[in-house]
Amino acid sequence: MTDVLAPGTFLTPLVLRHVGGRRYRVEQDFTYITRAGRRLDVPAGFVTDGGSVPRLLWPLYPPFGSDCDEAYVLHDYGYANAELLKMTRGEADALMREVMDVKGFRASGRGAVLAGVRLGGWLSWRKHRRAARKEKP
């Protein structure tokens, strides 16, 4: 009998180590199967800054240490590696919404966090696209 993985499944736990400021490093490969059945592998060594949440809202929606950690890491990985993953900004944002839903993050918080990502995420998206263009031979 073949095991079939359910969509919205984490194959490995997310293990992070603080490396300074708001930066954390993924300590072991982290894998998620999307609801559409796509496998996303975040390699050990990837560095994330967690949720880009205004400091004023940290008591409600901290950048790390909540049910959003997996969503933040996958979203950051999608933004940083969009060309490799063939992922648009909208798809990376939708991935974050999906993972927040899978983790059971409250709907009211999901809306607030996602609104912030849509409003301010373009800065990070643009920075990563410029860096990707510079890396091309």
Confidence tier at 1 by pLDDT (50, 70, 90): very low
Structure tokens at 54: 């205004």
Query: How do strand 9-10 and strand 30-33 relate by DSSP bridges?
Result: antiparallel
pLDDT at 26 over 90: yes
- The predicted pLDDT at position 126 comes to 80
The answer, yes or no, to whether residue 100 has pLDDT greater than 80, is yes
| Angle (nearest 5°) at CA 97 between 30 and 16 | 30
Q: pTM (2 decimals)?
A: 0.87
Residue scoring higher pLDDT (66 or 46): 46
Give the residue-averaged pLDDT of 6-26: 92
DSSP tag of 36? T
DSSP single-letter state for residue 12: S
* Separation of alpha carbons 114 and 53, rounded Å: 10
